[in-house]
Each structure stands twice: as C-alpha cells, then as structure tokens.
A and B are shown apart, each in its own frame.
Chain A
Amino acid sequence: MRLKAQSFFLILLLPALGILLLFIALPISQSIWLSLHRVIIGLPGLGELFIGLSNYRELFQDPVARHSFWVTLFFVTVTTFFELLIGLFLALLINLRFPGRGALRACVLIPWAIPTVVAAQMWRFLFNDSYGLINYMLFGGNSTSYIPWLALPNTALAAIITADIWKTSSFAALLILAGLQIIPEELNQAAAVDGAGTWRRFKHITLPLIRPALLVALLFRTIDAFRVFDLAFVMTQGGPADGTNVLQLYGYRKLFVEGLMGYGSAISVVIFIIILFLAVLYVHLAGRRLMEARI
C-alpha cells in the first residue's frame, strides 16, 4: 500500500516535469549546444558547423557586448540599491496598523501589477523631450532648457533606471513585508517598555530579524534586473549609441533580428551563467533555511 501510494504520487508529477523538461531544461541544453556551433537562421544551407568556443572568444572581444555588460551591471546595481531602499520604506509603512492600510497596500501593488510594457510607454511619455511632464516640472514653460532625456545615452539609461525602480520597488516591499510579519509584536513592545526609541528598536530588533528577507529581496531583484528587456525595448530600443543596450536586448538582436543563432546563444548562455551563479549563491545563503522551515 505504501509503495503503491508513492508511485501514484510520482505519476502525478509527470505532466509538470514533462512541461518543464520540454520548455526549460531541453532549451537550456540546446542553447549551450548552439553556442558551440555556427547557425544562421537566414542561411539554412550553411548547416550547423561545430566551431568550439569561437563564439565565446568573439563575444569577449566584441566591444558592443562588453559595453552592454557594463551598462547592464550599472543598471542592476543602481536599480537594486534603490529598490531595496524604497522597498524597505514601503514595507515598514504598510506593516503598521492604521486606517486605510488595505487601500495603501492595493496602491503599492499597482506598479507591480501593470504590464512592464505599459510602464515603459508611460515613462516614455513622461520623459518626452517637448511635452513630457518631467521637463515641465523641472523647467516650467521654458522649453529651451528642456532635456531630450531619451536621446542622450546617459539620461536615457537614467530614465530606464527610474522606470524600473518605480515598477519593481513594490515587489521588493512585499518580500521584505513577509520578513516583517514574522517579528513578534511583543518583542517591540518589550523593548519600548525598556525605553528603546524607534530608531534603536529598528536597528537592534527589526533590521537583524529581517536580514534573511532583505537577502532574498536583494537576490531576487538582482537576478530579475539582469533580465531587463521590455523597458529598453520600448523606451529606447537600446539606443542612443548603445547607451541602454542591455544584455538581453543585445542577445535578442543577435538571435532574432540578425538570425545569428550560434553567436546569440553564446550571449544567452553567458547571461544564464551569471544568473546561475547568483541563484546558487541565493540557495546557499537562504535556500536551505527556507526549505527546512516550510517543507
């Protein structure tokens, strides 16, 4: 009976594992395989020639790819930092008890819920060079000093960073909120009775206890920021002068616009390795504890 039950449960797993094998595991392995070959979509006659690590060698010397890597790294660092900061603030706020907390929580969720593409069009509109609200707020009616935000490499990157911070700070807030909710209220009350002020309670009780949640938020946000695509695609198309040409956008261009399946796969494998490294770090630092606590 016991053995029969176990095999019954293993059968229940098959549909899910089958889908994941077909659409995640096999594609990943095929990407690795493709990255070792020269495959061009437009030239099927060329076949699939094995060229070893040539694609990677070419990639590491490709100035556009290197630039793209640094742009992405800068994007990831800045957005993650501000998202955690704003997320922590929002989480502390929506964890308090006050009338209208439910409504505020719903408001905070809105940026997370709307499609990234909509957020991108929204910020493209607000950053418009001649009638955008941001220029108006900074310079009023004096249109001669308006900045063409999306037409200059550095300000375009800043615009995309702004859009990402707006869009995903609330997700960071939710992850941190989960950490805040497990702090027993008696702990704070006891400390308050002992005369500890708000700041000291935050520093000595809240902060150490939400460290795991902060870590999870940090790694989730880092991993996700490395995959940025939609914002750059809609707001700037990677321009100007590759100023916002993030890695996933560059990979997309090589794979699907230029049809370089081999070279594009090398880019996608590099992104995969970066994220895998971060994920392993995540599982190592927080995952074990998480699994033990819940399962």
Chain B
Amino acid sequence: MEHIAIIGNGISGITAARHIRKKSNKKITVISSETDYFFSRTALMYVYMGQMKFEHTQPYENWFWKKNRIALKKGYVSKIDCTAKKLLFSDGEQLSFDKLIIATGSKANKFGWPGQDLKGVVSLYHKQDLEAIESLAPNNKVCKRAVIVGGGLIGIELAEMFHSRHITVTFLVREKSYWNSILPKGESEMINNEIKKNGIDLRLGTSLQEIRSDSNGQVKSIIIAETGEEINCGIVGLTAGVSPSIGFVKNSMLETNKGILVDKNLETNIKGIYAIGDCAELRSPSAGRRPIEAVWYTGRIMGETVAQTICNKETPYTPGHWFNSAKFFDIEYQTYGWVNSEKHMKANEVHFHWQHSDQKKCMTFAFDKNTQTLLGVNSFGVRLRHEVFNDWLTHKKTIDYVLEHLENANFDPEFYRTYSKDIIDKFNQEHQSELRLRKKKWSQIFTLKS
C-alpha cells in the first residue's frame, strides 16, 4: 500500500488527506508539530475574544481521523531525505514515504528590528501565539498597552482582540493609509475611520525603530522611527505579513525561492514530492494570480487538486477568478476579480466608487476603460454572491450590465435594504449615462438566478 506522508495539518494538508482518502485506500500520515488535531487558525482571534472555545475551532471531532484511517503524528520534521524517501524528525525518529506533500504554511515576517525576539513580542498565526498572547495580555491590568506593527489583515485582527479586553492599542502602519497598497483610497480611508471609531490609537505613516526590554528581557517599550517617541507597552504584535515556512528544506534537494517551487501540478523538482498551500511558490502562476497566495481557500483548493494527481489523475492547479474576504471590526469586506489600489492600477483600469454616508458601506467597481468589461469589485458592508460575480467575470460582462443587474448579486440577509439604486444613480450622474436598475422579477425571487 502506497504511503502518503503529509507535513502540516493545516487546511491544505488536511484537505489533501481527506480527498486522498475519499478517492483511494492509500496509507496516509499527517505530521504536525503544532497541534494534535486540525483547527482553523482563522478562528484564533475568536478564542481570545471569548466568542469561541478552542475546541470550536476544530472542524472535525477527534474520532474522525481514526475512522477515516488518517494517521496523525505529532513531531517536528527536521530534514527530508529525498533520495531515500525518508523524513527525519528532531527526536531522531524516521518515517519512510512513497509520496510526500509539504504543507507547512507560513511564518510571520520579521525585518531585523532590534528586540524582535524579546519575550512579549508575538504574532498571530500558530496556536502557540494564541497561548502566548493569552498569558502576556490576559487583561488591561497586566498589559496596559499593546503595540501592533504592520497594517495588514492580521494586524487589524490583533487590534480587535486587544480592544475586546479593554487594552489600549497603538497601531503602527507604515503606509499613509491603512492597507492602501491593496485598497483604493476611498476604501482605505473608510477603514482608517472605522479603526479610530473603535478607539484604536492608529498611527499612519509610522514605522518601528526598535523594541526595548526591561531588566528581565521582557518587552518594555517601542521607539518610533520617524519621531523617536517611546511608547510603553506590555506586548508587541508583529504583523508585517507572512512568508513561507520552509527552513527545514533549505539543505535538501528541493528547489526553493521564497517558497518551495512547484510546477502546475504542484509537484516540486523531485518526482513524488509536492508542496501546497502557503509554503508553495508556483513557477508559472496562471494569468492574474500571484506565485504565492497565502489565503485560506487557495490552500484548500491546492489540497483538493494535489489529491487528484496523487490518486493517479493528473490535475493541474487552476484557480478561477481571484476572490477574498475579511472583516475590519464591524465592516465586512468581500472582493471578486481585481480592484487594484492607485499604486498598482493597470493602464486600462478605471474605477467607479460609491460610498454610503454612514461610512460603513462602500463599493468599488473596476472596469476596462476601452471594453467596459468588469475587472473586479470590492464591497464593504454589503454581501455579494460569489457565484454571480464569478459568472459575470467569466462572461466578461460590462460595467453597465453589472450595475443594472446588481440586485441579483446581493447576498445580504432577507429584509435588508439594498443600495443598488443609490449606486446606479451615482454612476449615471458621474458618467452622464441612463442606466436603469433591473428590478428582480417575481419569478426571479423564486428562482434566485440572474
């Protein structure tokens, strides 16, 4: 019986294991040094905030693995012997495999700041990070202030976490506006506002000089590069992005760049060894996609894909249209296709932006100025239907068509007010056009289809 070893029990590795089990009888071993069982790291914040218990982050009950003959092994792989097809563990143990899937995920970026490894400096990625945060910042008596460095999605999650325990948060963002390398101006500014409204001390255009410690080697304060200001704090969160966690393959025969290089079948330069998820770097990503995409669903799709290939059905990794989602305090965000920030806007890309006066909802539509086809949409505070936008992107619908049919793409709960009319009015005004909102027909209410 062929033995498939999988390093990493995150979404990528576990999805691969489950799909291999669905399709075959192969022996499967999933190895992790982090936890005994698969959990959703996306939910770590909710555990600290008391919205969930850690057990709630585990999508499968503990009996699931034995029942499905997926062996779980706790251990740290220190070396891969590609020729002998063997894994060497840090405790000296060995494990042979026939095929190997590497799904070791990411680690937090650190840019050589003085004091970056002090006690009290954390990130938010692993279960161990959550435990560290819980012990360092259990309440606002033990930890009076938290400083977060790096204005991305994890940074804002950390801010919300500390805020939930009434700990004062100073949020250092290097850019002039939150996440403005990704978000267009109007949206980025709306989120700045939301962060401040929640009582976060947001410092834009501010970067970290160094982290200082007290006599016990514990974080005491940070120094701001631009002003030299010292801010006392009990904990520092480093959230300046993540990069592939591939330290243990550095001296193997596996080819790496930022991540482990893989071909379109997710196979590395060594036959029978695959890499998926955050740690994989595609040699030639498909159009409109990046070589490394550290998001939840790409890990899942890679797991689904590699399982096909391993079960003798060679399948290339072909993600469809880009999409993503996040939540900034109370504002939900969804994106389909590409809406680039001013900094990265394509030559043919133009934007139409609508914002509600309550500063909680806005949408940006990106379209091609020559062909008028939709390139992407960013939506804040209004839920959109994935299926519909996916379809519109595939069929290259024009911005006119999209706006006229916007009601069909709404995914907000029943009885919610929709804003399609306001949006189309604003577009008409700006473009001197006369688009008319196509109201959902009664028949459509019962069929849901566009």
**Are A and B associated in one complex?**
no
Binding site for B on A (CB under 8 A): none
